Amino acid sequence: MRARVDPIEAGSVALIVAAASSPLVLWVMKERVIDIPNQRSSHVVPTPRGGGLAILAGVAAGLIAAQPFSGVVGAAFVTAFLLGVVGLLEDIRGLRISMRLMLQAWASLVGVLWLLENLEIPALPDVLVVILALIWLLGVTNAFNFMDGINGISAIQLMVAGIAWGVIGALEDIDLLVALGAITAGSSLGFLPWNFPKARFFMGDVGSYFSGGWLAMLAIIGIGMGVHPAAMVAPLLVYIADTSYTLLRRVLRGEDWLKSHRSHVYQRLVISGWSHVRTTLFFALVAVTTAASGMGWIFDSATLAAAGSVVTAIAVAGYLVAPRLSQRRSLGHGVDPR
């Protein structure tokens, strides 16, 4: 399956639509959906949320321009859209955790079954593929939501993944992946100025659920088209590592892991004194490193794959220990990291 237009054109359409729709979304949301700071928040000023609707609009426009709106792409977008609807309900009225998870699971199951009807993933039984895909989709969607807590971080994550997958698609001669990567990066770039360095409004649950679901589905599509799983997962690795590490850390400490908190690595960096801009740029550096290192797996070279794995491990480890190092430095200079 090949995109019928230049991916640069599709990405540009996504960027323009996301940028043009952002002020409209802000106007609609600023009086209706306000993010009030709470114990999980890293901001202190009430701020409108729901900006993810602009990203959704950008992706939809880019897909229409590229015309691959069927089959696996249709499954990916509809699934992300349904997850975005769940997020919008959470933004507007709030949902119980049980209801939220049930709706997420329903949307994910519909999407996975539809996707796998149009995509073959060899070497694994169909039932196992469905189970793994569901776990992956729900995991990435919720990880994206947990990580969307400071200015620009999630928009940067979208951009890094989109660019990385676009490059992989070009290297592997998979035109559809190039187009999808360009659309993802373009929609993110169109929204980014509204969220970074100063946040005029937030992505919201509608944006984090849509974006997480979209990225998770694109990763499955890339793997189904023959790209090595490590290369497709690498751009998302920091989000996955931060969420997994934080959850394990809270469980081992006997904390209520379902309760809102500020224990993620990026949150602890902000608490230690880093600005949102510095923390987001640090995240971007690590994410770009893991994405680039993961590309070693697409070449027929054990040396490149091994070297990429080592660099990835060092980068992720450095990210995870950064709050502790920053805290020690703050204490060493007589600064209270709280």
- Look at the alpha carbons of 65, 67, 72, 77 in this order and tell me if their dihedral is positive or negative: positive
| Total-model pTM | 0.92
Q: Which of 20-29, 41-50, 309-318 has the lowest mean pLDDT?
A: 41-50
Site of tokens 């290192």: 293
Q: Is residue 275 part of a domain?
A: yes
Residue 335: per-residue pLDDT:
43
Q: What is the overall mean pLDDT for the chain?
A: 90
Q: Is residue 67 part of a domain?
A: yes
List the end-to-end C-alpha distance of the chain, in Å, as a whole number.
53
Contact 174, 181 (CB under 8 A): no
Per-residue pLDDT band at 316 (split at 50, 70, 90): very high
Q: Is the pLDDT of residue 292 over 90?
A: yes
Q: Is residue 2 part of a domain?
A: no
Report the C-alpha gap between 174 and 3 in whole angstroms: 9
Range of the structural domain that residue 323 is part of = 7-332
Report the C-alpha gap between 104 and 167 in whole angstroms: 30
Phi, then psi, of 315 in degrees rounded to 5: -65, -45
Report the C-alpha gap between 307 and 312 in whole angstroms: 9
Q: Is residue 337 part of a domain?
A: no
Residue 305: per-residue pLDDT:
95
Per-residue pLDDT band at 34 (split at 50, 70, 90): confident
Q: Is the pLDDT of residue 327 over 80?
A: no
H/E segment holding residue 47: strand 47-48
Residue 297: per-residue pLDDT:
96
Report the C-alpha gap between 41 and 146 in whole angstroms: 11
Nearest alpha-carbon partner for 230 in 295, 184, 289, 166: 295
Number of H helices and E strands in the chain, helices first, is 13, 2
Residue 25: per-residue pLDDT:
92
Q: Is residue 123 part of a domain?
A: yes
Phi, then psi, of 48 in degrees rounded to 5: -60, 150
For residue 66, give the 3-state DSSP assignment: helix
Q: Is residue 84 part of a domain?
A: yes
Q: How many domains does the chain have?
A: 1
Nearest alpha-carbon partner for 147 in 283, 248, 303: 283
Average pLDDT of 108-124? Answer: 83
Residue 303: per-residue pLDDT:
95
Report the C-alpha gap between 237 and 251 in whole angstroms: 21
Report the C-alpha gap between 75 and 70 in whole angstroms: 8
Residue 44: per-residue pLDDT:
63
The greatest distance separating any two alpha carbons of the chain, rounded to the nearest whole angstrom, comes to: 60
Contact 81, 111 (CB under 8 A): no
- Pick the residue with more confidence: 316 or 126? 316
Q: Where are the beta strands (DSSP E) in 104-171?
A: none
Quick: pLDDT tens for 151-187.
999 999 999 999 999 999 999 999 999 999 999 999 9
Quick: pLDDT tens for 56-89.
999 999 999 987 666 899 999 999 999 999 999 9
Per-residue pLDDT band at 1 (split at 50, 70, 90): very low
Report the C-alpha gap between 210 and 51 in whole angstroms: 11
Q: Is the pLDDT of residue 3 over 60?
A: no
Quick: pLDDT tens for 196-225.
999 888 899 999 999 999 999 999 999 999
Q: Is the pLDDT of residue 26 over 70?
A: yes
Q: Is residue 320 part of a domain?
A: yes
Report the C-alpha gap between 129 and 122 in whole angstroms: 9
Neighbours of 284 (CB within 10 A): 17
Contacts of 228 (CB under 8 A, 6+ apart): 297, 298
Average pLDDT of 231-238? Answer: 98
Average pLDDT of 258-265? Answer: 84
Residue 250: per-residue pLDDT:
92
Q: Is residue 72 part of a domain?
A: yes
Per-residue pLDDT band at 119 (split at 50, 70, 90): confident
Instruction: For residue 125, give both structure tokens.
Output: 């039984």
Bridge partner list, 309: none
Report the C-alpha gap between 151 and 42 in whole angstroms: 9
Average pLDDT of 248-262? Answer: 85
Residue 2: per-residue pLDDT:
43
Report the C-alpha gap between 146 and 271 in whole angstroms: 17
Instruction: For residue 237, give both structure tokens.
Output: 């690795």
Average pLDDT of 267-295? Answer: 96
Residue 42: per-residue pLDDT:
62
Residue 274: per-residue pLDDT:
95
Between vectors from CA 51 to CA 256 and to CA 153, what angle results, nearest 5°?
Answer: 60
